[in-house]
Amino acid sequence: MREGSPGAQPLLPTVQLGPHRVSRLLIGGNPFSGNSHHSGGMDEAFLDHFTNEQIVRTLLDCERHGLSAMQSRADRHIMRVLREYRNRGGAMHWIAQTASELADLHGNIRQAAACGAIAIYHHGSRTDALWQQGRIDEIKELLGTMRDCGVQVGVGTHLPEVVEYCREHSWDVDFYLTCLYRLGSGRGSGPIAEGRTEAERFDDADREAMCRVIRATDRPCLAFKVLAASRKCASPQSVRAAFEYALSHIKPTDAVIVGMCQKDCDQVAMNARIVRDLTSLATPEGSHTP
């Protein structure tokens, strides 16, 4: 029996990602790598909390509460922790983000595929930087390497216009990672790509623009920054309201990605319960407005 199985909840509702079914709630890996998109203090708190052992425990908690997939960076640290997780019986699907700091991204993609990723996507911050520089088409070679590896092929972005461009030019893409907030990208120098979290903006007016694009594409979208990098976590009610907004404005064939930290409360259980509740209330056609 897999570690963490006692008391396991049923699998959450799922969506199709190529030949795979993934839960409509995925755990995001930013906190594991000390990336809060909130403050330097929160970054440090994540780095202190998320030892390898704690990451593994959190992933096993996710499985126990019905999640079937995770998303994270494809760097050496995360791939080492994934090995520990699997050695403990962990079985969630892995959706890998290219590690933009590496010189050989083609090699990075091949390594992630060899490490068991079912899907790989081009890092959204690098996507946005190339878009701003007028060099977006450079991504296509990397997408070709993903296709050659036999995984699902994705593009991550914080900009609705990037998804529109990919659609208009018929890119060979299976899915998108779509941020509900533009953050700093497209508003000047692009602080996301430069790692300046204090300059990031979370404007709720951005959410509808991205959600319109999400609803317009027939490709699955994995929406992230649903909780505005913890800015919508003041109360259980505000957390639920943020999930409700996201799930009611994306397609029923889409999912959401949320970073979770178990240090002060059981965020995994709470988020899984909210998503289970909201998806059980949705109509078969989904509650979004086309």
Whole-number pLDDT of residue 139: 97
Whole-number pLDDT of residue 286: 40
Whole-number pLDDT of residue 44: 78
Walk along the chain (290 residues) and give the pLDDT tens digit of each residue: 344 455 789 999 999 999 999 999 999 988 887 675 766 777 777 777 779 999 999 999 999 999 999 999 999 999 999 999 999 999 999 999 999 999 999 999 999 999 999 999 999 999 999 999 999 999 999 999 999 999 999 999 999 999 999 999 999 999 999 999 997 644 333 333 444 445 577 888 899 999 999 999 999 999 999 988 778 878 999 999 999 999 999 999 999 999 887 777 888 999 999 999 999 876 444 444 33
Whole-number pLDDT of residue 49: 75
- Integer angstrom CA distances of residue 61 from 57, 68, 270: 6, 11, 12
Cβ atoms of 202 and 181 closer than 8 Å:
yes
What is the spatial distance between Cα 159 and Cα 152, in angstroms, rounded to a whole number? 21
Longest dimension (CA), the chain: 52
Q: Which residues pair with 205 in a beta bridge?
A: none
The conformation of residue 260, written as its DSSP 8-state character, comes to -
Q: How many CB atoms lie within 10 A of CB 220?
A: 22
The angle, 0 to 180 degrees and rounded to 10, between the axes of the packed helices 267-281 and 52-64 is 30
Q: What is the DSSP string of 57-75?
A: HHHHHHHHTT--EEEEE-S
What is the spatial distance between Cα 105 and Cα 87, in angstroms, rounded to a whole number? 27
Strands (E), the chain: 14-17, 20-23, 25-28, 69-73, 93-97, 119-122, 152-157, 175-179, 221-224, 255-259
Among 143, 158, 57, smallest CA distance to 98 is for 143
- What end-to-end distance do the CA atoms of the chain give, in Å? 44
User: pLDDT tens, 124-181?
Assistant: 999 999 999 999 999 999 999 999 999 999 999 999 999 999 999 999 999 999 999 9
Q: Tell me, which fold does domain 22-279 have in CATH?
A: TIM Barrel (3.20.20)
The angle, 0 to 180 degrees and rounded to 10, between the axes of the packed helices 124-132 and 160-168 is 80
What is the spatial distance between Cα 284 and Cα 20, in angstroms, rounded to a whole number? 20
Whole-number pLDDT of residue 38: 65
What's the whole-model pTM score?
Answer: 0.88
